[in-house]
Amino acid sequence: MAQRTICTLTLIAWAIAACACLKAQDGNTITVKLLEGKNGEAVTPSNIVVRIDRQDEAHNEWVRMNDDGTAVVTIPVDAKQISVQATYDSSMETFVNCDAAKEKERYTPHWYAIADILKAGMVTPNECGKTRTSAKPGEFIFFVRKRDWRDLPMN
């Protein structure tokens, strides 16, 4: 009787684990790459902060960082837009995204269509320099720079 109960519990545990694995794979996958805006060199962030559909909630649980500095982001299939920021120096200090580097409100998130990223790939505008690149389908490449004196608040 006890052995039968253990077998039943084991089967239930396996079924739950299988469902959890299938649920984790239920989404669209985007590869995120950061490049330094001035010279186009790859940047390895401490973390990637992902938001979807103009919501304030960040979803770091969707991000898997790779050793080469890229990140694989698995987002829900019904998500329409994505905004990405990256942190550096193992802190909450965020890079300035070069798609808004010349704007007065340079920390306002810019939103990009997930369908376009999945279909053709996307490279955000680079207002930090003249470096250009191209993306493959499923790649989201954006240019960044570390904060500097231009980012200090003016009183």
Domains of the chain: 28-151 (2.60.40.1120)
What are the residues facing 75 on neighbouring strands? Answer: 28
pLDDT band at 136 (very low <50, low <70, confident <90, very high): very high
Distance CA 13, CA 16 (A): 5
pLDDT band at 147 (very low <50, low <70, confident <90, very high): confident
- Decide: 118 and 135 in contact? Cβ < 8 Å: no
What are 45's two structure tokens?
Answer: 């962030």
What are 96's two structure tokens?
Answer: 């300035």
Distance CA 116, CA 137 (A): 8
The answer to whether residue 154 scores a pLDDT higher than 80 is no
Q: Which DSSP symbol is given to 42? A: B
Predicted TM-score (pTM) of the model is 0.76
pLDDT band at 10 (very low <50, low <70, confident <90, very high): low
The pLDDT tens digits of the residues spanning 71-102 come to 999 999 999 999 999 999 887 888 888 887 66
The residue ranking higher by pLDDT, 38 or 154, is 38
